[in-house]
Amino acid sequence: MPVRYDPLVTRVLAREILSRWGGVALRSLRFDRGRRVVSLAFDDRSRLLALLHPLAGHLIGLDARARIETELGGKLHRFGRLILSDVEAPADERALLLTFSDGAGQPREGLAFELQTQRWNAVRLELTGPEPQPVWRIEAALLSRDAGHRPLRRGAPYQLPVSTRNGIDEVPSEEAWLRSLEGVDETERRSAVLRSWAWASTLNVDWILAGEAPRERLSEVHAALEAPPPRAWLGERRWGPQPYPRALEDPGGLQENGLLDTFLVAANEEGGIDALLEAIPTAEEEVAHGEAQLLIKRLRSRLKRLGKRTASLQRQLEAAGPPEEPRSAGQLLLARKSEIARGSASVALEDFDGSTRRIELDSALDVVANAERLFDEARRRERALEKLPIEIATAQDRHDKMTAAIVRVEESGPNESLWALVGGKPSGTGRKTVAKVAEPRLAYTRLVSSGGLEIRVGRGAKDNDELTFRNSAPDDIWLHASQSSGAHVILRWGRKDENPPRSDLLEAAVAAAVNSGARNSGTVAVVWTRRKHVRKPRKSPPGTVLPERAQTIFVKPDERLMNRLRPSPD
């Protein structure tokens, strides 16, 4: 079972990793994408093992004596004499950045772990671009994806996530703490604290709020950031053993060693590293698992509908009533019709057994028609009493079959007869179809400048609008060939205080020139401005915009440069 990470766990792990391997040379790095495992082997024969599959989720340090029987796949990257020089954990975030430097102390390579629950990932980085502000560029990603506005794909620049919560650097004042909870219902206090205050998390918020002075408990979390305790705590959660840098409940779970070693203890409680690795499904097994989950979902949906139908039929049966009651009332009306005045809304008559009986009538009908209405009700009740028990039994039988089918899917997987219970197997659930799902088409192509900045080039007129107004930030740089049709180009920048480096701006301008009607000219004028200064006139054709505060630069279209800027396939 996976553990969970929060900002405090991540910060303490960063300190322990640097303490254990700082200054030690990295021998090799392996990305096993199938199992979602990253293994770092150091010169002292120890290893840092990151299990990043949703079924695993452990970051474990192993010494030279530890052996793993399960063979890892993926490409093995070997290194010269790069040493671990720094480990950074951004404030109030769940990410780690390991920096590896050469013998002269110059940073060269990096490895980032992103530890958000169920979105674990790792990216190998290379430091590129001129001094004094080189940037990290992604060399390989365990899982290529977009994390919000941060593309985690080969060739893209890499940025650590940034927290927007309050109180990152200091404990909130008593006044600020109370103000954040003012008017908040008792049941909403947990959510309010998680929204407002840095370093609070789903792992520690209940412990914080359970104390007599919650703000003081938050200050204990802050204290653990600077001076991690030498011993960690291992608690039991519904998802399994959970390591943490401090005791959150009964201190009986305190371990003898630090947090990194406690992760190994947690893994051993789950059967050991090999058991965790063996439990991770192969790609084929994941496809089968996805098909099984889809079938179970549909079976449960049918179960829910059958349950509602059975309850409805049961209510109809209970409301039906005995048919003898309206039939005898109709017979009594016909027998005493001479005693009933036309237009009566009800009548009290002597029943056949001598008692008095009141019967409600429809005043618009005569006596015979009122009697027929009662006979119709008797026949309806007879049909219900005959039909409803059969329908209830049929629905219950279907319900039992669906329940048994879910058990069979869980035990032995889906098959055609089980799919038949929900109307047949839908198209697109076969192995080949699932394995080859295409990524959504982007409105632009990607380039990477020599300085590591991302350049986005619109694919067409409609795509130009999509790129400019939906796939860029306000302070990005917008470029277009002057007085010529062509692609909109976005240079991802995002800084308000300064313009991008001249070399990156020129390369983006060349991209605009090459992808314009003036591509065969000797020199092309390219206008550029901040994207926030570009507006679209009402009812204008696709791709038509009006840039303001624009400047002009002149470049030579160069197809060879474009080829050099295209990122290599991951």
Q: What is the CATH number of the domain that holds 310?
A: 1.10.287
In a domain? residue 570:
no
Neighbouring-strand partners of residue 555: 524
Three-state DSSP class for residue 335: helix
CA distances from 466 to 471, 516, 536 (A): 6, 18, 12
121 close to 145: Cβ distance less than 8 angstroms: yes
Read off the pLDDT of residues 348-377 as tens digits, 9 standing for 90 and up: 999 988 899 999 999 989 999 999 999 999
Which residues, at least 6 apart from 27, have a Cβ–Cβ distance to it below 8 Å?
Answer: 41, 42, 43, 78, 79
Token duo for residue 317: 């049966």
Element (H, E) at 555: strand 551-555
Q: Are residues 181 and 299 in the same domain?
A: no
Read off the pLDDT of residues 464-475 as tens digits, 9 standing for 90 and up: 998 998 888 889
Q: Is the pLDDT of residue 7 over 60?
A: yes
Q: Are residues 312 and 209 in the same domain?
A: no
- Which of 119, 148, 153 lies closest to 138 in space, CA to CA? 153
Element (H, E) at 111: strand 107-114
List the CATH number of the domain containing 84: 2.30.310.10
In a domain? residue 158:
no
CA distances from 434 to 25, 120, 401, 427 (A): 41, 22, 28, 10
Within 38-185, where are the H helices?
Answer: 174-181
Token duo for residue 19: 């303490």
Within 144-250, where are the H helices?
Answer: 174-181, 189-196, 205-210, 214-226
Which residues, at least 6 apart from 163, have a Cβ–Cβ distance to it below 8 Å?
Answer: 7, 90, 91, 92, 93, 198
361 close to 339: Cβ distance less than 8 angstroms: no
Q: How far apart are CA 508 and CA 457, in angstroms?
A: 9
Q: Is the pLDDT of residue 336 over 80?
A: yes
Which residues, at least 6 apart from 279, have a Cβ–Cβ distance to it below 8 Å?
Answer: 55, 56
Q: Which of 368, 385, 420 is the last residue before a domain boundary?
A: 420
Which residues, at least 6 apart from 225, have a Cβ–Cβ distance to it below 8 Å?
Answer: 8, 11, 12, 199
Q: Are residues 104 and 205 in the same domain?
A: no
In a domain? residue 169:
no
Q: Which domain holds residue 386?
A: 291-420
Q: Are residues 378 and 267 in the same domain?
A: no
Q: Which residue bears the tokens 């104390």?
A: 211
Read off the pLDDT of residues 9-24 as tens digits, 9 standing for 90 and up: 999 999 999 999 999 9
Q: Are residues 415 and 453 in the same domain?
A: no
pLDDT of residue 316: 87
Q: Is the pLDDT of residue 437 over 50?
A: no
- Which of 457, 462, 461, 435 lies closest to 446 in space, CA to CA? 457
Within 321-354, where are the H helices?
Answer: 324-335
301 close to 94: Cβ distance less than 8 angstroms: no
Q: Which residue bears the tokens 């009566």?
A: 344
Q: Are residues 232 and 137 in the same domain?
A: no
**Extended strands (E) in 203-340:** 233-237, 240-244
Q: Are residues 416 and 313 in the same domain?
A: yes
Q: Are residues 116 and 206 in the same domain?
A: no
Neighbouring-strand partners of residue 359: 347
Q: How far apart are CA 413 and CA 292, in angstroms?
A: 6
Q: How far apart are CA 333 and CA 336, in angstroms?
A: 5
DSSP 339: G
At 176, is the pLDDT very low, low, confident or very high (cuts 50, 70, 90)?
A: very high
Q: How far apart are CA 77 and CA 84, in angstroms?
A: 16
Which residues, at least 6 apart from 142, have a Cβ–Cβ distance to it below 8 Å?
Answer: 31, 33, 36, 38, 52, 121, 122, 123
In a domain? residue 469:
yes
pLDDT of residue 538: 85
| Region 521-532 average pLDDT | 94
Rg of the chain taking only CA atoms, in angstroms: 35
- Which of 127, 60, 59 lies closest to 99 in space, CA to CA? 127
Read off the pLDDT of residues 212-232 as tens digits, 9 standing for 90 and up: 899 999 999 999 888 777 889
pLDDT of residue 432: 41
Q: Are residues 145 and 56 in the same domain?
A: yes
Q: How far apart are CA 54 and CA 35, in angstroms?
A: 10
Q: Is the pLDDT of residue 532 over 60?
A: yes
Q: How far apart are CA 425 and CA 407, in angstroms?
A: 18
Q: Are residues 197 and 137 in the same domain?
A: no
Burial class of residue 4, CB neighbours in 10 A (0-12, 13-18, 19+): buried
Domains contained in the chain, number: 4
At 286, is the pLDDT very low, low, confident or very high (cuts 50, 70, 90)?
A: low
Within 10 Å of residue 350's Cβ, how many Cβ atoms? 13
In a domain? residue 462:
yes
Q: Are residues 57 and 122 in the same domain?
A: yes
CA distances from 242 to 57, 115, 220 (A): 11, 15, 19
Token duo for residue 555: 């470049």
Q: Is the pLDDT of residue 431 over 60?
A: no
pLDDT of residue 78: 79
| Region 203-212 average pLDDT | 92
Q: How far apart are CA 496 and CA 384, in angstroms?
A: 75
Q: Are residues 11 and 141 in the same domain?
A: yes
Q: Is the pLDDT of residue 434 over 70?
A: no
Three-state DSSP class for residue 352: coil
Mutual orientation of helices 7-21 and 214-226 as an angle, nearest 10°? 20
Which residues, at least 6 apart from 312, have a Cβ–Cβ distance to it below 8 Å?
Answer: none
In a domain? residue 167:
no
Q: Which of 420, 435, 453 is the last residue before a domain boundary?
A: 420
% of the chain surpassing 90 pLDDT: 50
- Which of 454, 462, 464, 448 lies closest to 515 in space, CA to CA? 464
| Region 528-534 average pLDDT | 94
399 close to 306: Cβ distance less than 8 angstroms: yes
In a domain? residue 1:
no
Q: How far apart are CA 7 and CA 284, in angstroms?
A: 34
Phi/psi at 32 (5° precision)? -100, 90
- Which of 356, 362, 355, 351 lies closest to 328 in space, CA to CA? 351
Lowest mean pLDDT among 69-83, 128-142, 279-293, 515-529: 279-293
CA distances from 302 to 89, 407, 427 (A): 47, 15, 19
In a domain? residue 196:
yes
366 close to 372: Cβ distance less than 8 angstroms: no
Phi/psi at 487 (5° precision)? -75, 145
* pLDDT top residue among 74 and 234: 234
Q: Which of 226, 245, 279 is the last residue before a domain boundary?
A: 279
| Region 251-277 average pLDDT | 88
Q: How far apart are CA 241 and CA 249, in angstroms?
A: 13
